[in-house]
Amino acid sequence: MKHRAYCDSAIGILEIIADDKFILAIDFVKTRKANNHNALTKRCVVELKKYFLGKRKSFLVPYKFSGSEFQNKVYTALAKIPYGAVISYGDLAKMIAKPKAARAVGQAVNKNKIAIIVPCHRVVGSDANLVAYASGLWRKKRLLALENGVLTNIKNCPKIRS
């Protein structure tokens, strides 16, 4: 059975989907559906709220990837990027021992179903510019600002490439 809960944040509503054991997806949505939460989705909401308050830097809720073997390698590497850090798609490709696969890594990152917890927002272009985020570059910028303690001074974040 799938369970669903929502977390309000300053950058939008996050929908959390889980089964009885794992978080399966976290994504920004425009509207809510009916809640069908369980203890795991409730715990995830609490952890996300603490993250948005700057009181949590890592997550304890169990999650499960869904994707190809390559995508799952990318997601595993993404999960290792420390809070407040940014790396390039090329760096991420090197982390999975595929140094020439930066473009393929970018495509996998774009399909990440577990936003925030599997921090695809911490991946930037080789020139440190913000080049892609499925939920909008403005959200990526705000997440990076939050993690760097500069929400009041967003200018300190990497630039958004036009």
Cβ distance 16 to 5 under 8 Å? yes
pLDDT tens column, 33-65? 988 999 999 999 999 999 999 999 999 999 999
Residue 162 has pLDDT above 80, yes or no: no
pLDDT tens column, 59-75? 999 999 999 999 999 99
Over the chain, what is the mean pLDDT?
89
Residues 2-17, mean pLDDT to the nearest whole number: 95
The question of whether 7 is a catalytic residue gets the answer: no
